[in-house]
C-alpha cells in the first residue's frame, strides 16, 4: 500500500509538469516580405501582427509568433509556409503580403492541409474565388479586394485624364488591379492605350517596358507594382523619357520611392489604397503602436496585420473556453463568431475585456484598426478606399471614399 501511495504521488508530481492542451501557447505563423520587391513593407506589417500577439499575451492568453520571410516570391513563400505547417505545426498564418505569394501558398500548402491563412494585404480579386478554398473556408483576408480599389483608381484617373497606360507587376495582384482599373476608367470615358506587364523579380532597368507604355504619350502612367520595381522605372521615366505624370496604388505608396526619385518629381501625384474608416479603434491602435515601435509610418496594411492576428487569437480563445482544442478547424469555426456582428464591440488593445466576455459565454464583435472585420462567405471584408498624395516628401490623405460605385 505504501508503494502504491508513493507511486501515485510521483505520478501526480510528474503530471503537474505536463500542461494541458489549453495551457499551451497559441502558435501563429506569419509570412512576411523581409526581402525582395516588397521589403519596405514587411517589417512594419510584421510589427502590427506582433503588437496584437503581445497585447493578448499580456492579457493572459499567450500567443507565440513564428515569422518566415517569403522574399516576395512564390517558391520561397511556399517553402516558408511548408515549414510553418509541417515543422512548427501552426494552426493559422497571417500572410502573405503579396497576392503572388498568397495564391500559391493557399493552393499548395494551407488549403490542402486545412490551415487558416489570413492575408492582411493580398488584394487580388482571384482570392475571393480561389478554387482550392471552395467548400473549405480556410482562406481569409483583412484587406478589401481590388475589385474596390480598381474602381476608385479608375474613377480618380478619369476625373482629370482622357488616356492612360498601365505598367504592372505580372502576378495576381498586378493583373487584377490593372484589369479592374481598365474597366472602371473606360466606363467613365477614358481610354487605356497600353497594358504592359513586368516580371515579379526586380530588374535593373525597365526602359523596354516604358517605351511601350509611353508610346502613345498617355496623360497618365499607372504604376501598379511594388516599391523596388517602381523606384527604378519611375526614375527612368523621369530621366530618360522626361515623363512625370503618374497614378499610384497601395503597392507604390512608398517612402523609398520618394527617396529614389526625389520629392519634387512626385509632388502632388495621387494614388489609392485600402483605408481604415478611422474612429476610436484606429486611435487606440495608433497610440499602442507608437508606444511599442514609434510613430505609425504612412505605409499600407499595418493595421490589417494587427486585425488578422487579433481575430485569430480571439477565435482560438473562443474555442478554448468552449472546451475545444485550438485546432485550425475550431479556430476557423469561431472567426466569424468573434469578428462579425452581433456581440459587444471590442476594439484594439481591449483583449482582457474580450476574454472576460467570452469566458462569460457572451458574444463579441471585434472592430479593427483597419475597419470592421466582417468576413463574408468568401472570407473577404469591405473597407473604404483612401485617395492619397505625395506632398513635400511625405504621404498625406486627400480624402476617403466610402461609397464604392459599381464598375
pLDDT at residue 8 in the model = 42
Grid cell digits, residue 212: 511601350
How far apart CA 366 and CA 338 sit, in angstroms, is 6
pLDDT at 18 over 50: no
pLDDT at 174 over 80: yes
pLDDT at residue 85 in the model = 98
| CA nearest to 140, candidates 331, 403, 391, 353 | 331
Instruction: Give the residues across from 333 on adjacent strands.
Output: none
- Model pTM score: 0.93
**Are 109 and 99 a contacting pair, CB within 8 Å?**
no
pLDDT at 9 over 50: no
Summarised one tens digit per residue, pLDDT across range 338-349 is: 999 999 999 999
pLDDT at 7 over 90: no
How far apart CA 332 and CA 315 sit, in angstroms, is 7
pLDDT at residue 407 in the model = 74
> What's the whole-number mean pLDDT along residues 351-369?
98
Summarised one tens digit per residue, pLDDT across range 384-405 is: 999 999 999 999 999 999 988 8
**Are 239 and 261 a contacting pair, CB within 8 Å?**
no
Question: By 3-state DSSP, what share of the chain in percent is helix, strand and coil, each rounded to 5?
Answer: 45, 20, 35
> What's the whole-number mean pLDDT along residues 105-110?
98
Summarised one tens digit per residue, pLDDT across range 254-288 is: 999 999 999 999 999 999 999 999 999 999 999 99
Q: Which CATH architecture has domain 146-273+385-401?
A: 3-Layer(aba) Sandwich (3.40)
**Are 123 and 96 a contacting pair, CB within 8 Å?**
no
How far apart CA 221 and CA 305 sit, in angstroms, is 30
Extents of the domains making up the chain: 21-144+279-372, 146-273+385-401
Question: How many angstroms separate the most distant Cα atoms in the chain?
Answer: 96
pLDDT at 13 over 90: no
Q: What is the DSSP letter of 296?
A: P
How far apart CA 103 and CA 97 sit, in angstroms, is 11
Summarised one tens digit per residue, pLDDT across range 178-221 is: 999 999 999 999 999 999 999 999 999 999 999 999 999 999 99
> What's the whole-number mean pLDDT along residues 220-237?
98
Q: Which CATH architecture has domain 21-144+279-372?
A: 3-Layer(aba) Sandwich (3.40)
pLDDT at residue 19 in the model = 38
Cβ burial 385-401 (10 Å sphere, 16+ → b, else e): bbbbbbeeeebeeeeeb
Cβ neighbourhood burial of 344 (10 Å; 0-12, 13-18, 19+): exposed
How far apart CA 290 and CA 295 sit, in angstroms, is 5
**Are 138 and 117 a contacting pair, CB within 8 Å?**
yes
| CA nearest to 394, candidates 317, 299, 311 | 299
**Are 55 and 288 a contacting pair, CB within 8 Å?**
yes
pLDDT at 23 over 80: no
Summarised one tens digit per residue, pLDDT across range 115-132 is: 999 999 999 999 999 999
Return the residue matching grid coordinates 487569437: 313
Comparing 21-144+279-372 with 146-273+385-401, is the CATH topology the same? yes
Grid cell digits, residue 387: 485617395
**Are 351 and 61 a contacting pair, CB within 8 Å?**
yes
pLDDT at residue 254 in the model = 98
pLDDT at 2 over 60: no
pLDDT at 335 over 70: yes
Beta sheet of 191-198, edge-to-edge order? 191-198, 163-169, 220-224, 246-247
pLDDT at residue 24 in the model = 81
Percent of the chain with pLDDT over 70: 94
pLDDT at residue 6 in the model = 42
* DSSP, residue by residue, 26-93: EEEEEEE-SSSTTTTTHHHHHHHHHHHHHHHHHTT--EEEEEEE-TTSHHHHHHHHHIIIIIS--SEE
Grid cell digits, residue 24: 499551451
Amino acid at each position: 500500500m505504501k508503494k502504491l501511495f508513493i507511486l501515485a504521488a510521483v505520478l501526480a508530481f510528474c503530471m503537474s509538469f505536463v500542461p494541458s492542451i489549453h495551457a499551451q501557447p497559441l502558435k501563429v505563423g506569419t509570412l512576411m516580405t523581409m526581402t525582395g520587391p516588397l521589403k519596405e513593407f514587411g517589417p512594419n506589417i510584421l510589427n502590427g501582427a506582433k503588437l496584437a500577439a503581445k497585447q493578448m499575451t499580456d492579457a493572459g492568453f499567450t500567443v507565440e509568433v513564428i515569422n518566415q520571410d517569403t522574399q516576395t516570391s512564390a517558391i520561397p513563400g511556399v517553402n516558408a509556409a511548408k515549414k510553418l505547417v509541417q515543422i512548427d505545426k501552426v494552426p493559422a498564418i497571417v500572410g502573405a503580403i503579396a497576392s503572388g505569394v498568397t495564391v500559391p501558398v493557399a493552393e499548395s500548402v494551407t488549403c490542402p492541409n486545412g490551415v487558416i491563412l489570413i492575408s492582411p494585404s493580398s488584394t487580388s480579386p482571384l482570392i475571393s474565388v480561389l478554387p482550392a478554398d471552395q467548400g473549405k473556408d480556410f482562406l481569409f483576408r483583412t484587406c478589401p479586394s481590388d475589385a474596390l480599389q480598381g474602381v476608385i483608381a479608375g474613377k480618380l484617373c478619369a476625373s482629370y485624364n482622357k488616356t492612360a497606360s498601365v505598367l504592372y507587376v505580372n502576378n495576381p495582384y498586378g493583373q487584377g488591379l490593372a484589369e479592374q482599373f481598365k474597366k472602371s476608367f473606360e466606363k467613365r470615358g477614358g481610354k487605356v492605350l497600353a497594358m504592359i506587364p513586368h516580371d515579379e523579380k526586380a530588374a535593373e532597368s525597365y526602359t523596354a517596358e516604358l517605351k511601350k507604355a509611353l508610346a502613345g504619350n498617355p496623360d497618365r502612367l499607372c504604376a501598379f507594382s511594388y516599391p523596388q520595381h517602381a523606384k527604378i522605372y519611375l526614375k527612368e521615366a523621369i530621366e530618360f523619357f522626361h515623363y512625370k505624370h503618374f497614378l499610384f496604388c497601395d503597392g507604390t505608396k512608398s517612402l523609398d520611392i520618394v527617396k529614389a526619385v526625389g520629392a519634387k518629381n512626385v509632388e502632388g501625384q495621387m494614388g489609392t489604397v485600402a483605408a481604415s474608416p478611422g474612429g476610436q479603434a484606429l486611435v487606440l491602435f495608433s497610440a499602442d503602436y507608437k508606444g511599442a515601435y514609434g510613430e505609425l509610418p504612412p505605409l499600407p496594411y499595418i493595421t490589417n496585420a494587427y486585425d488578422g492576428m487579433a481575430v485569430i487569437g480571439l477565435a482560438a480563445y473562443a474555442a478554448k473556453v468552449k472546451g475545444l482544442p485550438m485546432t485550425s478547424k475550431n479556430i476557423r469555426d469561431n472567426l466569424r463568431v468573434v469578428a462579425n456582428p452581433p456581440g459587444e464591440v471590442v476594439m484594439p488593445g481591449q483583449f482582457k475585456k474580450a476574454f472576460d466576455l467570452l469566458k462569460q459565454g457572451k458574444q463579441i464583435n471585434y472592430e479593427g484598426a483597419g475597419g470592421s472585420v466582417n468576413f463574408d462567405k468568401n472570407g473577404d471584408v469591405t473597407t473604404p478606399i483612401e485617395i492619397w498624395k505625395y506632398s513635400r516628401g511625405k504621404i498625406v490623405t486627400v480624402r476617403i471614399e466610402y461609397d464604392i460605385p459599381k464598375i
